[in-house]
Amino acid sequence: MSIEQLKDQIPDFAKDVKLNLASMMADETLSPQSKYGLLLATAISARNPVVIAAMESAAAVVMTPAEVAAAKSAASVMAMNNVYYRFVHLASNPEYKTMPARLRMNVIGNPGVDRADFELWSLAVSTINGCGACMDAHEKALREAGVSSAAIQTAVRFAAIVQSVAVAIEAAGMGVTQAVE
């Protein structure tokens, strides 16, 4: 499925979502690898098979298989980290902050793509997953890497749009049925 076909599946009640998706695809703020890795990682985090299929298809055109795997890795490792660190951050008991996480996350140290891209994807996924501690950590790493506030804001905006596409399609009842076709 292409992104154009995905856009056609967005229902009329979500016209703004469709317009935002169109403008996002025309936006050239980010490099193609940054943009398409971000779209794939956030689609996976949005957990909608229709959106995942469209974004994976689009990413495969501009990214190598290793880059696609890195975007999937960002979504996967952040799914784990966002749950754990959101708990540590929100739990009233300060003892959890002193305990080692004991979670394997080697991919963060060696993602197989430009580190700033991986951090951008991780930030966007963490935003969808609502982990403030991870958002702060990845935003700080991006700023230290010289990534502009505009690029960071674009990544978060793209995450919001991808999430809204997934919700609109789910609300229309198109979810899994359309992804199988």
The pLDDT value recorded for residue 148 is 97
The residue-averaged pLDDT of 90-115 equals 92
Report residue 111's pLDDT band, with 50, 70 and 90 as the boundaries: confident
Q: Which CATH superfamily is domain 3-180 in?
A: AhpD-like (1.20.1290.10)
Beta carbons of 38 and 155 less than 8 angstroms apart: yes
Residue 176 reports pLDDT greater than 50 = no
| Locus of tokens 């689009």 | 58
Average pLDDT, the chain: 94
Could you give the CA distance from residue 120 to residue 74 in angstroms, rounded to a whole number?
9
Confidence band, pLDDT 50/70/90 cuts, at residue 106:
confident
Contact 78, 126 (CB under 8 A): yes
Sole residue written with tokens 């979810």: 175
Q: Where are the domains of the chain?
A: 3-180
Q: For residue 135, which of 154, 120, 118 has the smallest C-alpha distance? A: 120
Q: Which residue has the higher pLDDT, 91 or 176?
A: 91
Q: What angle do CA 130, 134, 135 make, to 5 degrees?
A: 70
pLDDT at 63: 97
Active site residues per annotation: 131, 134
Cβ partners under 8 Å of residue 27, min gap 6: 35, 154, 158
pTM attached to this predicted model: 0.91
